Amino acid sequence: QQQVKQSPQSLIVQKGGISIINCAYENTAFDYFPWYQQFPGKGPALLIAIRPDVSEKKEGRFTISFNKSAKQFSLHIMDSQPGDSATYFCAPGNTDKLIFGTGTRLQVFP
């Protein structure tokens, strides 16, 4: 019930391309669906998050798409930049607890 599967494990994208990372969960009680970005040696930072009452949210180059019936949500990074190179975690949760996915290491090459 608590399992969170994230894919792909790693992703290499050329500058200007689109990066897509997927997250699948099992617990239907989750009510908060964030993506965190983590640079080496730093703590995770919230990138974008969505609640289950909407299917899509866009903030600048970052978009979350949410499919409640499929229990999946994804992160789209448009016009990917070398500065986006980092590890991305989905972390769906409820109340005080987030369940982190396994992480996706994104590398954007110029």
Partner 1 sequence: DTEVTQTPKHLVMGMTNKKSLKCEQHMGHRAMYWYKQKAKKPPELMFVYSYEKLSINESVPSRFSPECPNSSLLNLHLHALQPEDSALYLCASSQGLQVGGSDTQYFGPGTRLTVL
The footprint of partner 1 (CB under 8 A) covers 31-32, 34, 36, 41-46, 49, 51, 89, 93-98, 100-103
For the CB of residue 88, give the shortest distance to partner 1 in the complex, in Å.
11
Which tokens go with 52? Answer: 């289950």
Which tokens go with 56? Answer: 């899509």
For the CB of residue 12, give the shortest distance to partner 1 in the complex, in Å.
17
* Identity of the residue, 77 or 98, whose beta carbon is nearer to partner 1 in the bound complex: 98
DSSP letter (8 states) at residue 17 = -
For the CB of residue 11, give the shortest distance to partner 1 in the complex, in Å.
15
60-74 in b/e form (b: 16+ CB < 10 A) is: eebbbbbeeeeebbb
